[in-house]
Structure 1
Amino acid sequence: MSTRQVTLRDVAQVAGVSVATASKAINGKAEVHPDTRERVLEVARRLSFTPNALARAILEGHTGTVGLLTHDLVGRFSLPILMGAEDAFAGRTSVLLCDSRGDAIREQHHLSTLLARRVDGLIVVGSQTDARPSLGHEVPVPVVYVYAPSEDEADASVVPDNVTAGRLAVEHLIATGRRRIAHISGDVSYAAATDRARGADATLADHDLAPAGAVRYGSWSEAWGRTATPALLDEAEVDAIVCGSDQIARGVLDALRDRGVRVPEDIAVIGFDNWEPMTAGARPGLTTVDMNFQQMGRRAAERLAEAVRGEVTPGIEAVMPRVVVRGSTIA
């Protein structure tokens, strides 16, 4: 005896209706006549039909999956954003992660693969906060851009507020009594570096304070923090250092310890991102500005879900950061 599973097509054929009508009847859609619905349901019961969740979702136009395309090679931003998105979907939607490794051709390959899997929408995570090219409006599913906004204002984007992050860092240092505040940051070509510097400098000006020298731009690395710190100490008198990232801050802490400088008693240090691999082993504990990447992921998922329902809200939404205080600024 055949053990082939009964399909929706079998139900439709026996009931004398189309597959689409059978699907609507089984899923309780209002546009099906009550007599037709009852006939389809009776056939489904008689044939012991069990709807396949994926097949049912495809017939309804949704598969319960979304794609997450990232250019973030080490997961520094994409993993917390992914966690936030999954929290927002609360198990009702699966997220398929694809890393394009900063390669536009690889991104197009992943895009084609995800669309072939009939994802309901896409979340695109940039590797830096500079605006990125839009995937275009020919993409047949909604797209939300995270961390790096789309260049197209008609797209939906969720980004960190780096200017406010710079402000919060300096406001915290001033609140702890610091007045000679220097800034060691990352690559000057990155909007995150210049935006944070802009917020920091504006806050110093608001308090009638001058920065302890020009911003020192370099790389987003511990090595740059270790290299820049001795030169800074030789050229300026400082009591606090704003570091463009937690990686830089770890290097700064190493260099200060090598020079016998006490943190935070002599010089306070603050970083950005609240990246656990960097903050976990810092001595002392690293005060940092948390950019709320998980909240970005949640908002991206919420906006994507709204777009899938037809409620499209274009434009850029900024997520507010917060200061996480540890021992590098307050003893």
Structure 2
Amino acid sequence: MQEEAQGSSMEPVTLRKVAAAAGVSVATASKALNGRGRMTPETRKLIRETADRMGFRPNALAQSLLRKRSFTVGLLTNDTYGRFSLPLMAGISEALVDKGVSVFLCNVEDDPRLAQLHVNAMRDKRVDGIIATGKRIDRRLPIDLSGLGIPVVYAFTEPDPASIAFVADEAGGVRLAIEHFASLGRRRIAHVSGPASFAVVHLRAQAYRETLERLQLAAFEPLLGTWSEAWGHEAVRRLFEGTQKPPDAIFCGNDQIARGVIDALRERSVAVPDEIGVIGFDNWEIMAAQSRPPLTSVDMNLTAIGREAGLALLTLVDGQKAETGIRRLPCRLVVRESCGQTTVKTIEVQSTSG
């Protein structure tokens, strides 16, 4: 009870008080809390539990001076709405929080001047490193991050040469979707995607064709348009008013397109999934879960990408070497009712590098 009163009083709990409560020297308490020194596991555990119980918080400034680190990293993004950067940040924070490292997010939009201001501020704060991310993987942020003198890792954005980068294995995600349709007996699988100016649109279209060829199924010509529900409506009109027999499944480039497709099919009195199954891409929860029926969707595992990027940055900050190149982490298929499944489940594949 006395220790709890110390931790809850206005007077700060010092390392000396922790050492006295644990019955060890100040030096031993310091080594235990910093993961250094030789001592029995029981002693180290006792000191840490005592510190936690008393509410001891180490002096961040003193630790920074001692270790020549600020225990902060910067996250740069031009993803204004946070659709991709926020899940990534959650993963980064998850990887770094146990190491006592904080993350602060800076939105550079697409403004080189603003980006330079944020980078200058990060360097003034002596950040240990920077993670760069964005709203698409085929565009760089509007600033050159090479030659800063601190580690930089890229996640879900086009990297600089000879850097470490993490992206989703989107071709693998396409394969998951098409193979799942085929496993449900779908044989006429169409593909509706976004603008031709996006590299991922062509990557996914190629994976769509290759997967259908491997499964010995005929491919529709992919329909390219915009990332919108309106385009989903228009794509259904084209599929039904074309010369081909309508599909029995539609794989969409994002969840917004898929929502538009489902609405357009309903307007035509076409039952989803009984007559036509629908799968989206992104697994945007607010879209997928509220769709009627709930939407099966490919999830790019952005939180996992963020976690791996954070761990890689820690490796570099600690002075260890890491192999450069792009790591493609596996997507997963979150199966809901729009493709014929009646219970939610998740299907995953292994990661690849490139």
Deviations 1:175-232 (A, max 9, x none): 11111011110111112211111111110000111112x1111111112112221121
Corresponding residue for 2:199?
191
TM-score normalised to structure 1 length: 0.82
C-alpha distance in structure 1 between counterparts of 2:225 and 2:150, whole Å: 39
The answer on whether the counterparts of 2:135 and 2:157 sit within 8 Å (CA) in structure 1 is yes
**Is the contact made by 1:66 and 1:95 (CA closer than 8 Å) also made in structure 2?**
yes
> 2: CA distance between counterparts of 1:293 and 1:304?
16
Where do 4+ consecutive residues of structure 1 move more than 2 Å? 27-30, 102-105, 131-137
Q: Do residues 248 (structure 1) and 230 (structure 2) align?
A: no
SS across alignment from 1:82: helix
Aligned mate of 2:102, from 67, 76, 94: 94
Q: Does 1:61 align with 2:80?
A: no
Assess, with a 3 A threshold, how the Cα gap between structure 1 residues 324 and 96 changes in structure 2: closer, same or farther.
same
User: Equivalent residues in 2 for 1:192-271 (5 A)?
Assistant: 192-212=200-220, 214-235=221-242, 236=244, 237-271=246-280
The Cα of 1:132 is off from its aligned counterpart by 2.5
Matched, 1:289 2:302: no
| Conserved? CA contact 1:291–1:321, under 8 Å | yes
The reply on whether 1:111 has 2:119 as its aligned counterpart is: yes
Which residue, out of 303, 319, 337, partners 1:327?
337
Structure 2 counterpart of 1:80, one-letter code: P
The offset of 1:73, in angstroms, is 1.6
Any unmatched runs of 5+ in structure 2? 1-33, 38-56, 342-354
How far is the alpha carbon of 1:75 from its aligned partner?
1.0
Distance 1:95 1:122 in 2: 9
Alignment-derived partner of residue 154 in structure 2: 145
TM-score (norm 2): 0.76
Amino acid at match of 2:140: R
Cα-to-partner distance string for 1:116-166 (whole Å, 9 max, x where unaligned):
1111111101211115267343112111100113141x1110011111111
Verify: 1:74 aligned to 2:84, yes or no.
no
**Does structure 1 conserve the Cα–Cα contact (< 8 Å) formed by 2:146 and 2:160?**
no
In structure 2, C-alpha distance between the alignment counterparts of 1:240 and 1:162, rounded to whole Å:
19
Are 1:122 and 1:143, in contact at CA under 8 Å, matched by a contact in 2? yes
User: Structure 1: 5+ residue runs without aligned partners?
Assistant: 1-26, 31-49
The 8 Å contact of residues 145 and 152 in structure 2, kept in 1 or not, is answered as: no
Q: Secondary structure at the match of 2:191?
A: strand
| Aligned residue number for residue 311 of structure 2 | 302
* Contact 1:149/1:158 (<8 A) preserved: no
CA distance in 2, matches of 1:194, 1:248: 16
- Cα shift at 1:272: 0.7
2:147 maps to amino acid: E
Q: Is the 2:251–2:280 Cα contact (8 Å) retained in structure 1?
A: yes
What is the percent sequence identity of the aligned residues? Answer: 45
Aligned mates of 1:230, 1:69 — CA distance in 2: 41
Looking at structure 2, the residues matched to 308 and 254 of structure 1 have their Cα atoms a distance apart, in angstroms, of 50
Determine whether 1:83 maps to 2:90.
yes
How far is 1:59 from its partner?
4.4
Matched length: 288
Q: Secondary structure at the match of 2:321?
A: coil
Provide the secondary structure at the position in 2 that maps to 1:297.
Answer: helix
Q: Whole-Å Cα distance in 2 between the matches of residues 233 and 59 of structure 1?
A: 69
Q: Separation in 2 of the partners of 1:136 and 1:147? A: 15
